[in-house]
Amino acid sequence: MICLELRISDLGFIVMAHYTGPKCRLCRREGTKLYLKGERCEGAKCPITRQRKLPGQHGAKRQRRPSEYSLQLREKQKVKRIYGILERRFKNYIEEAKAAKGQAGIFLLQKLERRLDNIIYRLGLGKSRAHCRQLLRQGKFTVNSQKVDIPSFETSEGDKIGFEGHPVEIRKNLILPDWLSWNKKSKIGTIKRLPERKEIEQDIDETIIMEYYSR
């Protein structure tokens, strides 16, 4: 289910869309954990752990050998759902990746990882990326001491992420990526450098995503 919300801002009308249906259904559709529900995804209650079939009454019967196009489409959908991005913005990232120097797929993943909502999630300051987006829209976080409430805000190397009025609760068993650091005393997160491909933990095949948009 897609919910549309109209909001008035200084720039006029902004249309926001977000998925409001069962999140576990999305993981089952992609056949892998997307970590959309925080710690629940790590426990035994995760539907992916208990049942691998596709969602729907006939999910088990619908499985068949996927075509090349189907594999590309599913990989693209999986990444969009992991990072909580709609098609229009994702296409913009793709176009930027195509125009960039070097490997387009790696550039795409670095763009996604540098989103502010993802940085906050990687620092463990939210249960999930959706939770981080909610906290951001409430004006809880700052970038270099400036309040930022835009989840898609693109961070840069050396940026410092802080918070205002929000009790920090680092997720349990969190392993902080080497490209990020966290100062327990000042409660400030720092982006030390851009992430390398091997440091992006999600099981993503960026090559076939770029092939999908090159058709």
Domain 115-193 has CATH 3.50.50.60: no
Residue 142 has a pLDDT of 95
Q: How confident is residue 165, by pLDDT bands cut at 50, 70 and 90?
A: confident
Closest CA relative to residue 25, chosen from 36, 12, 39: 36
Closest CA relative to residue 143, chosen from 123, 124, 169, 163: 163
Residue 109 has a pLDDT of 95
What are the residue boundaries of the structural domains of the chain, listed by start? 1-56, 68-113+204-215, 115-193
CA pair distance 159, 185, nearest whole angstrom: 18
Residue 173 has a pLDDT of 75
Structure tokens at 176: 């902080």
Residue 163 has a pLDDT of 86
Q: 22 by DSSP, 3-state: which?
A: coil
Q: 146 by DSSP, 3-state: which?
A: strand
Look at strands 141-143 and 2-9 and give their pairing.
unpaired
Closest CA relative to residue 29, chosen from 74, 90, 88: 74
Residue 178 has a pLDDT of 94
The residue behind tokens 């851009």 is 194
Q: Is pLDDT above 60 for 171?
A: yes
Distances in Å between the alpha carbon of 189 and those of 21, 132, 141? 32, 14, 11
Residue 179 has a pLDDT of 96
Residue 195 has a pLDDT of 94
pTM for the model: 0.74
CA pair distance 114, 33, nearest whole angstrom: 21
Residue 12 has a pLDDT of 39
pLDDT tens track for 101-113: 889 999 999 999 9
Q: Is pLDDT above 60 for 70?
A: yes
> Which residue blocks in the chain are alpha helix, DSSP H?
23-30, 47-50, 59-62, 68-83, 87-99, 104-113, 116-122, 129-137, 206-212
Q: 100 by DSSP, 3-state: which?
A: coil
Right CATH for 1-56 from 1.10.1050.10, 2.40.420.20, 2.60.40.10, 1.10.3720.10: 1.10.1050.10
The residues near 21 (Cβ < 8 Å, ≥ 6 apart) are: 1
Domain 68-113+204-215 fold = Ribosomal Protein S4 Delta 41; Chain A, domain 1 (1.10.1050)
Q: How confident is residue 99, by pLDDT bands cut at 50, 70 and 90?
A: very high
The residues near 106 (Cβ < 8 Å, ≥ 6 apart) are: 197, 206
pLDDT tens track for 121-156: 999 898 889 889 999 999 999 999 999 999 999 999
Quick check: do 1-56 and 115-193 share a fold?
A: no
- Give the residue, 210 or 46, on which the prediction is more confident: 210
Question: HSE-up of 109 (CA within 13 Å, CB side)?
Answer: 23
pLDDT tens track for 8-66: 333 333 334 555 555 555 555 555 655 555 555 555 555 555 555 555 555 555 556 77
